[in-house]
């Protein structure tokens, strides 16, 4: 968040501040909680995973001489008898962004120690995530029903099915893990673990609302990845 205050050190903004932070003792990321720094580095690593997936997808799609199915048609859904392109995907995007927004507010209220608000917003985020996973399951079953398999598909290049199931599956796994943690954290917020500083489950560290921000980072990252999947998989 905003610049923390640190005893004995005047924090400067911008690149000058960066040079001083880097050359100072004790910490490089001034005022950043260990867990938050860890989540950021983990997300960086995870970014590389998703980048490798998407790069492989690009290479696979680009180098096949067989025609690639048109996602706009494949993912169309009948609404009142009219096929609407990418309808479900649009709704999924809407849901995920909604949950991202509630998460951002949950973090804000967490820092303000507004236990009730924070808890309800985390819960709302969890429900949003759950809806997303549900719709993804629906989309998968629809495609499987139409004969799309990881090893083949009736619309064109076989790699379409492979990459689709692998990449959305990997993203869906991330969402599912996120949902589980969101429910756990919602419980922990309501139970007041972050107000009382109750020690966590895996760790010997005391509970603190910064954990909501850490969870928030993860959840926004899941949303971020979806932005790229949406652009490259459904719009390309």
Question: Interface residues for other proteins in 135-154 (CB under 8 A)?
Answer: 150-151
Nearer to other proteins, 29 or 138 (CB): 29
Q: Are 211 and 185 in contact (CB under 8 A)?
A: yes
CA distance 161 to 79: 24
Q: To the nearest whole angstrom, how small is the minimum distance from the Cβ of residue 117 to other proteins?
A: 11
* 82 sits near other proteins (criterion: CB under 8 A): no
- Residues in 180-219 that interact with other proteins by CB under 8 A: 197, 202-206, 208-210, 213, 216-217
- Quick one: which of 49, 57, 48, 44 has its CA closest to 232? 57
Tell me which of 77, 112, 116, 141 binds other proteins, using CB under 8 A.
112
According to CB under 8 A, which one of 7, 78, 80, 82 is a site residue for other proteins? 7
In the bound state with other proteins, the residue whose beta carbon lies nearer, of 103 and 175, is 103
Q: Are strands 82-84 and 77-79 parallel, antiparallel or unpaired?
A: antiparallel
Q: Is 207 left (phi over 0), alpha (psi -120 to 50) or beta?
A: beta
Residues 146 and 138: their CA atoms lie apart, in Å, by: 12
Distance from C-alpha of 133 to C-alpha of 139, rounded to nearest angstrom = 10
Angstrom distance (rounded) from CA 179 to CA 127? 8
Q: Across-strand partners of 78?
A: 83
- The interface region with other proteins, picked from 128-136, 139-147, 156-164, 184-192 by CB under 8 A, is 156-164
* Cβ distance to other proteins smaller for residue 46 or 142: 46
Query: Quick one: which segment of 123-131, 132-140, 157-165, 176-184 binds other proteins (CB under 8 A)?
Result: 157-165
Local structure of 97: helix, strand or coil: helix
- Contacts with other proteins in 26-55 (CB under 8 A)? 26-34, 37-38, 40-42, 44-49, 51-53, 55
Select the residue interacting with other proteins from 77, 97, 127, 135 (CB under 8 A).
Answer: 97
As a whole number of angstroms, the distance between CA 29 and CA 27 comes to 6
Instruction: Single out the residue of 6, 77, 88, 191 in contact with other proteins (rule: CB under 8 A).
Output: 6
For the segment 8-27, give every residue that binds other proteins (CB under 8 A).
8-11, 13-15, 17-18, 20-27
**Burial bucket for residue 226 (CB in 10 Å: 0-12, 13-18, 19+):** buried
């Amino acid at each position: 968040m905003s610049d923390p205050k640190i005893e004995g050190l005047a924090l400067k903004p911008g690149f000058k501040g960066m040079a001083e932070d880097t050359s100072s003792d004790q910490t490089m990321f001034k005022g950043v909680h260990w867990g938050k720094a860890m989540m950021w580095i983990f997300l960086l690593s995870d970014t590389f995973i998703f980048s490798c997936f998407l790069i492989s997808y690009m290479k696979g799609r680009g180098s096949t001489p067989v025609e690639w199915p048109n996602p706009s048609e494949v993912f169309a859904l009948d609404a009142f008898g009219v096929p609407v392109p990418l309808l479900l995907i649009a709704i999924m995007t809407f849901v995920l962004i909604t949950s991202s927004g509630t998460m951002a507010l949950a973090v804000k209220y967490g820092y303000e120690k507004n236990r009730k608000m924070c808890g309800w917003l985390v819960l709302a985020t969890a429900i949003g995530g759950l809806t997303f996973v549900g719709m993804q399951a629906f989309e998968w079953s629809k495609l499987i029903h139409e004969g799309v398999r990881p090893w083949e598909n009736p619309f064109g290049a076989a790699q379409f099915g492979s990459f689709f199931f692998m990449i959305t599956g990997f993203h869906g796994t991330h969402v599912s893990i996120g949902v589980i943690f969101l429910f756990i954290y919602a419980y922990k917020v309501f139970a007041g673990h972050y107000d009382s500083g109750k020690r966590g489950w895996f760790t010997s560290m005391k509970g603190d609302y910064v954990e909501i921000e850490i969870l928030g980072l993860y959840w926004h990252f899941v949303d971020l990845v979806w932005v790229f999947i949406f652009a490259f998989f459904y719009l390309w």
